[in-house]
Structure 1
Amino acid sequence: MSRRARLLGAAPFVFMALMAPGTVSAEQLKMGLLVPGSVSEEGWNRIGYNALKGVEEQLGASVSYVELQQNPASFEKAFHDYASQGYQVILGHGFEFQDAALSVAEDYPDTWFLISSSDIKEGKVIGLNTDTSQPFFLMGVTAAMMGKKAGLVGGMEIPPIQQAFDGFKNGVKHVNPDFPVSETYIGNFTDTTAAKESALSMIAQGADFVVPNASGATVGAYQGIAESGPGVLSFSIFSDFTEVAPENILGLYVADYAQGVVEVVRGIQEGNPPETNVVFGLKDEKVMSFTFREDGPAVVPDEVKAAVAEVAAEIAAGKIQTYSN
């Protein structure tokens, strides 16, 4: 069966348009977004939606998005449908969209395919990779200075999450090579119950610092952390989960991915597309921030803050490699 036939036979989906009704001129930028879940949930999918809205508001683009399940056939169909409708830029929000983009891109040489959490640069398929290993390295430093044992709860064992956890473990080693760290993956990004059970299991085995990274399932881990009391610490990842675990959250890692995407798309619009894959890091202050809480019961001592600030400056200057190549 041809690829085109496979695409047309894939699962149906619904475009969710954000633009006002009316005719879109041929010159107007059109951008589509593919997300692996619901944009109504705080976390990873909402970040992709905010990026799309940023392009709409700052660049005057006509935009729409589609919510998909973990189904490679539907990924290809969504890319195909957007490209065939004249969308100049399509953002696949997650590493899992990379293969589908590479498969479809050859049929649409005038379309740019941007892939979140990817290092790809092949033709007009461009990876936009926020180096999450850098803030996770800082979390590892904090854990090794404040805790006794750490636990990491991941969604699927894919490169972006592995890289983040690698950063955490390297941050721990930077302080104490003997500090114990356990790591587990629930095998998906939606099962909040599994994430919660994984967190509780790690805590039962002595982890007093637990960090989840499982997209929509992440909130389940925070619920388990909260139920374990103030003796277990964590960080908010991508969105602020302080309300879920107010006694446990030490700080917040946020990537203003929206602004990063806006600048990449602006370059495409102006005829200056990226020449390589794009990597946002701590050096990009408008895109990435790592902050400690200044209120509540979960407070980081001043000496730890100072140590982390020094490490962060070295990472931004390129003096510390946060993950293994």
Structure 2
Amino acid sequence: MRLSRRQVLECVAALSIAVSVPTFASAAEEFKMGLLVPGSVAEEGWNKIAYDALKQVEKELGAKISYVELSDNPAAFEKAFRDYASHGYQVVLGHGFQFQDAALTTAEDFPDTVFLVSSSYIHEGNVIGLNTDASQPFYLMGVIAASLGKGSGLIGGMEIPPIAHAFDGFERGAKSVNPDFPVSKVFINSFTDASAAKEAAVSMIARGADFVVPNANAAGLGVIQAAQEAGEKASTFSVYSEYTDVAPKNILGTFLADYGRGIVRIVSDIKNGNVPQSNVDFGLKDKDVIKFTLNDEAAKSIPQDLRKHLEEVTAKIVSGEIQTRAQ
């Protein structure tokens, strides 16, 4: 049978679409997911969030799972990605922006594996970013801090996009209340050094910050401890983990990301052949993923009028009326 030029072009287009999306051999094939974390899953905070998500995938999707704990070594990241992909893992999650480059390099050789990267806005072929938009709950923290305090200090693990976006959200929230509200920032270049985070927070409190806020994974516990030891001089927020029992009077609110719910949703789609066609951005609209709650036992109570304002601000963030970070 001879095909017309138009029919040939249609066939070529169909083939181009077919090869651009990873496919899995059959429904009977064992579905496997691997996880790379920059540290220990036993630590409360960022790494445990990913591990709990992996366990939910195992339980709800019947997947075979595996994980590897790594130090900050890009060569080790790429090797781990390659090991999983070469053993037929259909999905591999690198839990952190620092895994992005290794995922992009590895993905070129393994087009049938989907590489997910946490805290990333990437979408190139079979590399897909999963971002929990922390700028949105941080915007609410900024509103609270500027409404109740005189100045804030933000302590970040590293100056990478997801943390910069979160801090941008905090500053925007604070400035929406008081354009002159002072906000200082420091990055300790570590996600595990709680002592360095605590030292930075203590220094900020000494310089007049009555709110100190962490975004440093496990190291953030040092900020909570600094606030607790400062007593009435400092307030803070629990970020990614529930630390209220450490400083029940100093923590005004808690931001938790039930990353597992979002991961199960995305990985379930991938298992069914529906690979996301853009990066995935979880926000306050995803009530099953992002939760921001207030601590009623805090020494610095949040008045009802401020609570009502926070509800109104949340609605505007969800609708898109308020932009919490630079686009």
Whether TM exceeds 0.5 here: the answer is yes
Q: Distance in 1 between matches of 2:107 and 2:326?
A: 30
- One-letter code of the match for 1:227? E
Q: Distance in 2 between matches of 1:229 and 1:220?
A: 15
1:122 is aligned to 124
| Shift, 1:75, TM fit | 0.4
Q: Distance in 2 between matches of 1:147 and 1:46?
A: 32
Q: Distance in 2 between matches of 1:216 and 1:239?
A: 9
| Shift, 1:255, TM fit | 1.2
Q: Deviations over 1:250-270 (max 9, x none)?
A: 111111110101000000001
Q: Deviations over 1:173-222 (max 9, x none)?
A: 11111000010000111111100000000000000011001112111111
2:51 is aligned to 49
2:41 is aligned to 39
Q: Distance in 2 between matches of 1:69 and 1:302?
A: 45
SS in 1 for 2:106: helix
Structure 1 segments unaligned to the other structure (5+ residues): 1-24
Match of 2:222 among 220, 223, 232: 220
* 1:78 and 2:68 matched: no
User: Normalization by structure 2: what TM-score?
Assistant: 0.90
* 1:174 and 2:176 matched: yes
Q: Distance in 1 between matches of 2:273 and 2:68?
A: 27
1:236 is aligned to 238
SS in 2 for 1:228: helix
Q: Structure 1 residues 246, 101: closer, same or farther in 2, change over 3 A?
A: same
Q: Distance in 1 between matches of 2:243 and 2:207?
A: 24
Match of 1:317 among 310, 316, 319: 319
SS in 2 for 1:33: strand
2:143 is aligned to 141
| Shift, 1:294, TM fit | 2.4
Match of 2:192 among 178, 190, 193: 190
Query: Larger Cα Rg: Structure 1 or Structure 2?
Result: 2
Q: Deviations over 1:145-187 (max 9, x none)?
A: 0000001000000000000000000001111110000100001
| Shift, 1:84, TM fit | 0.8
| Shift, 1:74, TM fit | 0.5
SS in 2 for 1:319: coil
Structure 2 segments unaligned to the other structure (5+ residues): 1-26
Q: Deviations over 1:52-98 (max 9, x none)?
A: 01111110000011111111011001101111111110000000000
SS in 1 for 2:301: coil
Contact 1:131 1:281 in 2 (8 A): yes
User: Normalization by structure 1: what TM-score?
Assistant: 0.91
Q: Distance in 1 between matches of 2:31 and 2:295?
A: 40
Contact 1:153 1:184 in 2 (8 A): yes
Contact 2:258 2:290 in 1 (8 A): yes
Q: Distance in 1 between matches of 2:28 and 2:71?
A: 31
Q: Distance in 1 between matches of 2:291 and 2:324?
A: 16
1:95 is aligned to 97
Q: Give the CA RMSD over aligned residues.
A: 1.1
Q: Distance in 1 between matches of 2:37 and 2:135?
A: 22
User: Once superposed, which parts of structure 1, at least 4 consecutive aligned residues long, lie more than 4 Å away?
Assistant: none
Q: Deviations over 1:239-296 (max 9, x none)?
A: 1111221220011111111010100000000111101000000111111111101235
Q: Distance in 2 between matches of 1:315 and 1:280?
A: 13
1:152 is aligned to 154
2:68 is aligned to 66
| Shift, 1:301, TM fit | 1.5
| Shift, 1:298, TM fit | 4.4
* 1:268 and 2:270 matched: yes
Q: Distance in 2 between matches of 1:299 and 1:48?
A: 33
Q: Deviations over 1:116-150 (max 9, x none)?
A: 00000000000001110000000000000000000
Q: Distance in 2 between matches of 1:230 and 1:242?
A: 15
Contact 1:231 1:248 in 2 (8 A): no
SS in 1 for 2:312: helix
| Shift, 1:297, TM fit | 3.0
Q: Deviations over 1:27-56 (max 9, x none)?
A: 121000000011111110111111101111
Question: Matched residue pairs, number?
Answer: 301
Q: Distance in 1 between matches of 2:169 and 2:238?
A: 16
1:3 is aligned to none
Match of 2:295 among 289, 293, 302: 293
| Shift, 1:26, TM fit | 6.5
1:252 is aligned to 254
